[in-house]
Amino acid sequence: MIPDAYKRVLGSRGVAAPLTGVTLSRVAIAAQPLSTILLVQESTGSFAAAGLVVACYSLAAAGSLPVLGRMIDRIGQTSVIAVVTVVNALGFAALIPLAAADAPVAAMAIAGTIAGLATPPLGSSMRSLWKGLVPDPDLRQAAFTLDAVAIDVAWILGPTVAAGVIAAASPSASLGLCVALSLVGSVVFASSPASRSWRGPPAHERHSGPLRSPGVLVLMGAALGVGLVVGAIEISITAFASDRGVAELGGTLIAIQAVGSVVGGLWFGARDWGGPAGNRLPAIALVLTLSLAPLVA
């Protein structure tokens, strides 16, 4: 049974199109690491090389997304998303012939870097739309929770789809599907009325930069730790499955992990928590840490 708050969010005018577009894009993003890892590993015989290519992509994305966010604030979402989506697709598509030709790892790392620099900022763009789509601040908390759960759903579907395509065809076919999903998701999102009409704050209302805020730096540090854990788990699970001769099942294991995250997220978002969110974060982080111990064993 869907909680009433989530029903109201999903029923709000203008939500369906951008939420569908960002979800398709997130499915592509969730499937890309597994597809890329196995594509590069198949070509080079090395998970270390595969990890390097994925790391180049991730670092480039981390550096470019704040810049793309500033550009969106100035000129709107549609044109920025359209350009970077095409470049991102070309970067990932280039990996397929490079891997087939047994190209040097450096060449594949460059392609991964280009894809990362042009990562479509649909997630942050979607979060900026929620204020206009859901004016009620109390209901907006449910909207943000639903948005977070949608990410987990993508991490269930993405690796599962990738695993199925890899098992039935090849990692290159899976990466090609990721490119197609990313293109479709960006078109659906950027063409939605909510995205096309969104405008950033006037120049005089923009802050000098979030990195000057100590609070933002603390949040980035916390997110960095969680991001490192999630990234390391994905590489490790994929290598674990491959080492046992069932590389395609790595996606299934990653999807199972995401199922748990969805259940926890829905339970968390449906409750009315008392007190500041900062008091809950350390407890949740501790639970996450303890939950990793059985994986090591």
pLDDT, tens digit, for every residue of 260-288? Answer: 887 887 777 667 777 777 778 788 888 88
Instruction: Provide the residue type at 188 as one letter.
Output: V
pLDDT, tens digit, for every residue of 125-141? Answer: 999 999 889 888 778 87
Q: What are the φ and ψ backbone dihedral angles of 14, each rounded to 5 degrees?
A: 85, 0
Query: How far apart are the C-alpha atoms of 23 and 185, rounded to whole Å?
Result: 7
Query: How far apart are the C-alpha atoms of 230 and 258, rounded to whole Å?
Result: 11
pLDDT band at 206 (very low <50, low <70, confident <90, very high): low
Q: At residue 207, does pLDDT exceed 70?
A: no
Q: At residue 211, does pLDDT exceed 70?
A: no
Weakest-pLDDT range from 4-18, 101-115, 174-188, 223-237: 223-237
Q: In this predicted model, which residue has the larger pLDDT, 20 or 275?
A: 20
Q: Which of 231, 243, 221 has its CA nearest to residue 45?
A: 243
Q: What is the pLDDT of residue 54?
A: 92
pLDDT, tens digit, for every residue of 36-85? Answer: 999 999 999 998 899 899 999 989 998 898 899 889 988 999 999 999 99
Q: What is the pLDDT of residue 172?
A: 95
The token pair that represents 203 in the structure block:
């120049």
Label residues 210-242 b or e (16+ Cβ within 10 Å = b).
eeeeeeeeeeeeeeeeeeeeeeeebbebbbebb
Query: How far apart are the C-alpha atoms of 30 and 254, rounded to whole Å?
Result: 10
Q: Which of 162-166, 175-179, 237-241 has the largest mean confidence?
A: 175-179
pLDDT band at 204 (very low <50, low <70, confident <90, very high): low
pLDDT, tens digit, for every residue of 145-165? Answer: 888 888 878 888 888 899 889
Would you mind telling me the total number of residues written for the chain in this entry?
A: 297
**Per-chain mean pLDDT for the chain:** 86
pLDDT band at 20 (very low <50, low <70, confident <90, very high): very high
